[in-house]
Homo-oligomer: A and B are copies of this chain.
Amino acid sequence: MELGARSQGEAAPSVAYPDELRALVEGHLRELRFSSEAGTSGLEEAMRYSLLAGGKRIRPVLALATARAIDFPLDAALPLACALELIHTYSLIHDDLPAMDDDELRRGRPTCHVAFGEDVAILAGDGLYAEAFRHVLSQPGGSAPCTLRAMAELAAATGVGGMVGGQYLDVSGAAATDAAGLRHLHELKTGRLIAASVDCVLLMAGRPEHDRMGYRRFAGELGVLFQIVDDILDVTGTDAALGKPQGSDQRHGKRTYVSEFGLPRARELAAESYAGAGQALQRAAPAGAPELQQITDFIYTRTS
């Protein structure tokens, strides 16, 4: 298996991806409507503009792959899976705002605030988060107690102890300046939501704590892997593949695995993390979880 953040000019390795699950997600996302109130269709347009901009849908596909690994019905996990993508999209919209990262391109298109104005972009993000919760809470996929626990975890993973707290560490520079501080920042900013994509499905399915532990270890390592590769790609990727100008972390003065360790060591760390995730998955799902393994392979080898 080749590391995705390869030398320039090398052909992208072809890695299988759970395209069937991705198609399920894509279809469900396209059908989602948020506005039935007069006058709010412009807000819905901005929300769908960002939501339907493409991408691999890693978080919802991860959720559905988890459901399949534990024999939980896909259609019961689908609203939760799609809620994860709504939340991810909201975080990107707010992250791109002028007062935050001030990015004008995302997935090759103008960012939400460039296309719709800053006020509408703020509200589009706010709206996506609310609609994510509404979507799952109004059609719970598990028993009511299990759905409550899953949604409590989703709220925690996206609150101050998770995604929003990580974004704060990122913009404020309040994270510790050592390697542990960098790891902690990313654990909150991206890791918690990736981990929740696995754990919330187990919670919704009512799996006992000892089952969840193994999957949590896998998901935790997957989050780390995702971030290291992300940092490598920011340096080695092309504008076209990334859908945004390459090198943006550096321009924003962000601390990354590459700035911290240098490119060669970052690649080693990615390889170690990839191996660790595979081993954790093997232990969590001894009978095999081919789609979760595919996602792990994809995250390691992706080029965008």
Contact = CB atoms under 8 A, between A and B. Distances in A.
Nearest to A163: B130
A83 to B, nearest CB: 10
Contact of A152 (B120, B138, B158, B171): B138
A168 B129 contact: no
A36 B156 CA distance: 12
A160 B39 contact: no
B165 A40 contact: yes
Contact of A148 (B42, B127, B131, B140): B140
B151 A39 contact: no
Given A126-B94, A161-B35, A168 B40 contact: yes
A75 to B, nearest CB: 18
* Residue of A126, A145, A188 ringed by the most chain B CB atoms within 10 A: A126
A147 interface: yes
A200 to B, nearest CB: 12
Contacts of A40: 160-161, 165, 168-169, 174, 188
A155 B133 contact: yes
Shortest beta-carbon contacts, A-B, top 9? A130-B159, A134-B155, A144-B144, A99-B118, A137-B152, A133-B155, A43-B168, A39-B174, A34-B160
